[in-house]
Amino acid sequence: MSKIDLVIIGGFLGAGKTTSIVNIARYLLERGKRIGIVTNDQGSDLVDSNFLRSVGLSVLEVKEGCFCCNFDQFVEKIYNFTEQDAPDIILAEPVGSCTDLIATIFKPLERDYLDKINLKPLSIAVDPKRLKKLMIEKSSNFHSEINYLFQKQLEEADIIVLNKIDTLTKEELEEMNNFLKKNFRGVEMVNISARNGTNVEEWIDKIFKISSNEKTLEIDYDLYGTAEARLGWLNITSKIEGKCIDINSFLRDLLEEIRQAFLKDQYEIAHIKAYGISPSDWAKASVVSTEEPIAFDKVSGTPADVWNVVINARADIEPDELKNITLGVLGLLKERYKLKIHSLNTQCFKPKKPTPKYRFIE
Ligand SMILES: Nc1nc2c(ncn2[C@@H]2O[C@H](COP(=O)(O)OP(=O)(O)OP(=O)(O)O)[C@@H](O)[C@H]2O)c(=O)[nH]1
Ligand SMILES: [Mg+2]
pLDDT digits (tens, 9 = 90+) for 197-216: 999 999 999 999 999 999 89
CA 15 to centroid of ligand 2, rounded, Å: 8
CA 272 to centroid of ligand 2, rounded, Å: 11
Q: Which fold has domain 231-349?
A: Alpha-Beta Plaits (3.30.70)
User: Is the CB of 199 within 6 Å of ligand 1?
Assistant: no
- pLDDT range class, residue 313, cuts 50, 70, 90: very high
pLDDT digits (tens, 9 = 90+) for 126-169: 999 999 999 999 999 999 999 999 999 999 999 999 999 999 99
Among the bound ligands, the one closest to the CA of 255: 1
Residues less than 5 Å from ion ligand 2, measured at CB: 17-18, 48
pLDDT at 222: 97
pLDDT at 64: 87
pLDDT at 1: 58
User: Is the CB of 286 within 6 Å of ligand 1?
Assistant: yes
pLDDT at 40: 92
User: Is the CB of 268 within 6 Å of ligand 1?
Assistant: no
User: Is the CB of 341 within 6 Å of ligand 1?
Assistant: no
CA 41 to centroid of ligand 1, rounded, Å: 16
pLDDT at 82: 86
pLDDT at 272: 98
Question: How many percent of the chain have pLDDT more than 90?
Answer: 94
The alpha carbons of the chain give a radius of gyration, in whole angstroms, of 20
pLDDT digits (tens, 9 = 90+) for 213-233: 998 999 999 999 999 999 999
CA 115 to centroid of ligand 1, rounded, Å: 34
pLDDT at 85: 86
CA 335 to centroid of ligand 2, rounded, Å: 31
Among the bound ligands, the one closest to the CA of 274: 1
Matching fold, domains 4-226 and 231-349:
no
User: Is the CB of 41 within 6 Å of ligand 1?
Assistant: no
Average pLDDT, rounded, for the chain: 96
If one looks up domain 4-226 in CATH, what number appears?
3.40.50.300
Ligand 1 atom closest to residue 271's alpha carbon, by position in its atom list:
24
pLDDT digits (tens, 9 = 90+) for 289-299: 999 999 999 99
Domain ranges of the chain: 4-226, 231-349
User: Is the CB of 289 within 6 Å of ligand 1?
Assistant: no
pLDDT at 83: 86
Mean pLDDT of 277-281: 96
pLDDT at 237: 97
Q: Within its chain, how far is the Cα of 203 from the centroid? A: 18
User: Is the CB of 119 within 6 Å of ligand 1?
Assistant: no
Whether the per-residue pLDDT at 2 is higher than 80: the answer is no
Ligand 1 atom closest to residue 19's alpha carbon, by position in its atom list:
15
User: For 48-57, 93-102, 331-340, which range has the lowest pLDDT when averaged over its residues?
Assistant: 48-57
- pLDDT range class, residue 43, cuts 50, 70, 90: confident
pLDDT at 138: 92
Among the bound ligands, the one closest to the CA of 20: 1
